[in-house]
């Protein structure tokens, strides 16, 4: 049973400037809930209770969000408005939240390695909150968990993307071993379209076995001069220890304005229905 989920949240969110000048991009609301809460709810739905953040300067609002706000809560206590805090209160009650800071931005692989102090020697989930995912029946992290339970190795979520977009993602290739499950033999970070091994792109959901930390320590900077998790996973893939899962559901790239607006429209429809 995997109990820990790591959220790398130190990135700047430059695509959303000026909104993200003094506010973490993870706190941008999709309708009335910050992006990061969708991710933590997905981890919680997958049974994870120890939430670990690799954070950075200007990200304090995330810590405050997963804590009690005494004055506000006292003000609205006993009123209808209190219901709006129900979901986040449930998370705060069930989970613990730990934080460590990534002092320098040296890539996603470096961010995950920074989280080792919070994870230790056990398998763990990773959620990139920018990728907002809606699972068809179960959440995407729950789907990855089921794959991990069976294969006991690292698992990445993948989806097909148009050929002209593969250069935005880690891309995998390998052999399908079950419906929707591929044993990965090759993976490349952000390849040019004509060099991509497939059009199956990694989206921001991973389950990683803890040997990934030792591999990351030895991983030289790759694409963009940054330590890439994709490069470290390739070392595991070469031993047959990475499964790619074509998840059932939908994913919104909330790191882009278009994806953010699409997610907002999707959740606004749901919001309208719940408002009667
Ligand atoms: C990161 C990973 C990439 C993955 C992507 C998913 O890239 O490096 O392999 O496909 O997340 O969103 P980033 O979007 O941080 O550039």
Query: Is there an atom of ligand 1 within 6 Å of 128 CB?
Result: yes
Q: 72-81, 88-97, 147-156, 261-270: which range is least confident on average? A: 72-81
The answer for residues whose C-beta is within 8 angstroms of residue 183's C-beta and 6 or more apart is 174, 175, 177, 240, 242, 243
CA atoms of 211 and 112, how far apart (whole Å): 12
- Residues 104 and 125: their CA atoms lie apart, in Å, by 22
Q: Which atom of ligand 1 is nearest to the CA of 11?
A: 15
Which protein residue has the closest C-alpha to ligand 1 atom 11? 204
Q: Is 133 in the pocket of ligand 1 (CB under 6 A)?
A: no
Query: 201-248, pLDDT tens digit by residue?
Result: 999 999 999 999 999 999 999 999 999 999 999 999 999 999 999 999
* Residue range 64-102, pLDDT digits in tens: 999 998 899 888 888 988 888 889 999 999 999 999 999
108 CB near ligand 1 (under 6 Å): yes
DSSP state of 136: S
| pTM of the complete model beyond 0.95 | yes
Could you state, in order of their start, the residue ranges of all structural domains in the chain? 4-275
**Closest atom of ligand 1 to CA, residue 130:** 12
**213 CA distance to ligand 1 centroid (A)?**
18
- Mean pLDDT of the 153-162 span: 97
Give percent above pLDDT 70 in the chain: 100
Q: Give me Rg for the CA atoms of the chain.
A: 18
The CATH number of 4-275, from 2.40.40.20, 3.30.565.10, 3.30.1370.10, 3.90.550.10, is: 3.90.550.10
């Amino acid at each position: 049973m995997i109990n820990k989920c790591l959220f790398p949240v130190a990135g700047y969110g430059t695509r959303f400037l000026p909104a993200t000048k003094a506010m973490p991009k993870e706190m941008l609301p999709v309708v009335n809930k910050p992006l990061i809460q969708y991710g933590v709810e997905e981890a919680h739905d997958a049974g994870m209770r120890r939430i670990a953040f690799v954070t950075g300067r200007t990200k304090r609002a995330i810590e405050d969000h997963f804590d009690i706000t005494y004055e506000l809560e006292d003000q609205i206590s006993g009123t209808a408005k209190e219901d709006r805090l129900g979901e986040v209160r449930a998370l705060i009650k069930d989970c613990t939240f730990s934080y460590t800071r990534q002092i320098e931005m040296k890539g996603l692989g470096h961010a995950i390695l920074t989280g080792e102090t919070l994870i230790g020697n056990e398998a763990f989930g990773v959620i990139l909150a920018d990728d907002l995912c809606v699972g068809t029946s179960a959440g995407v992290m729950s789907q990855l968990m089921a794959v991990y339970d069976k294969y006991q190795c690292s698992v990445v979520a993948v989806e097909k993307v148009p050929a002209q977009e593969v250069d935005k993602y880690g891309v995998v290739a390998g052999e399908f071993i079950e419906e929707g499950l591929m044993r990965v033999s090759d993976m490349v970070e952000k390849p040019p379209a004509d060099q991509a091994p497939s059009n199956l792109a990694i989206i921001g959901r991973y389950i990683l076995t803890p040997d990934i930390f030792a591999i990351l320590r030895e991983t030289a900077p790759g694409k963009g001069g940054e330590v890439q998790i994709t490069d470290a996973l390739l070392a595991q893939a070469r031993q047959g220890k990475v499964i790619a899962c074509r998840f059932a559901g939908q994913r919104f790239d909330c790191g882009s304005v278009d994806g953010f607006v699409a997610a907002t429209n999707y959740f606004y429809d749901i919001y309208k229905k719940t408002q009667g």
